[in-house]
Structure 1
């Protein structure tokens, strides 16, 4: 089993990169989050690898962190989620955002990822419950019952997921929904 590859980054053709290891070039599929974290071509790079062996191919998937790889491995265990869809999920949201969506059981956030419909999002939330959220400590407000409502309100108002999450982190833990929305809007206006 190949667990990690270190070598010279010789090519970036999203979603694939090529890493030269002692004269052998390995084509590795990576999520966009990993692609953005990579240095320029010609630089030394280390990727955590997941190897998939099929009848017709051996495919390498690379990740900048072991946490991303572990999340990818959990995603491909979900029925109906293949490697391409798992890469798409990790390209569309960070591991922490995914863990928070699972903890708060928010299918709408997953449905923003290309290739994820309502049924797939709900199945993913159901099968991943307890596998990511608790392990990663998705957010300090995960225990706040109003956090999901405040977040959904901000998303409905057109704020991005990242902006909404940032505003949510500024709120006191015991704040109510309407007060939380007002306070988050003030934080976003700054």
Structure 2
């Protein structure tokens, strides 16, 4: 059952927020917590998460900076920025630099955050299925290309023989006309 659960990493420098999040969502999801971006990066080396939730305002690295740093090495997990501060610049940075899925204000509404997590996981799953289908289609396309090459190669020899016979028969007709004519 644990393998089928949504795995979430929540990063926040405030321990009481980490504890509240874990207490609220541990029954529904597999929760991992980190109290800094650096600790979050270390955790991500050993666990494969579906969703990463990060606080924006942290001492060493903001949530947006964290997302920006991991976006190339970990492009798949969905990103949710959680913050008590509503700053338009942060929102713009989060979207442009951090590639976030959603921006949630603290204190979070448990039902809203639950819906956001469900929606994020649905998109995560859809993207994963799409990648798998692309790989499958590329494989089928390669097989089709090999089949076409093989078939055209196999047909080339008999066609050349038929063309040779047709040319010989034309040549024979021409020679017959010359001789008879």
Shared fold per TM-score greater than 0.5: no
> Which has the higher Rg, Structure 1 or Structure 2?
2
What TM-score does the superposition give when structure 1 sets the normalisation length? 0.22
Larger strand share, 1 or 2: 1
Larger helix share, 1 or 2: 2
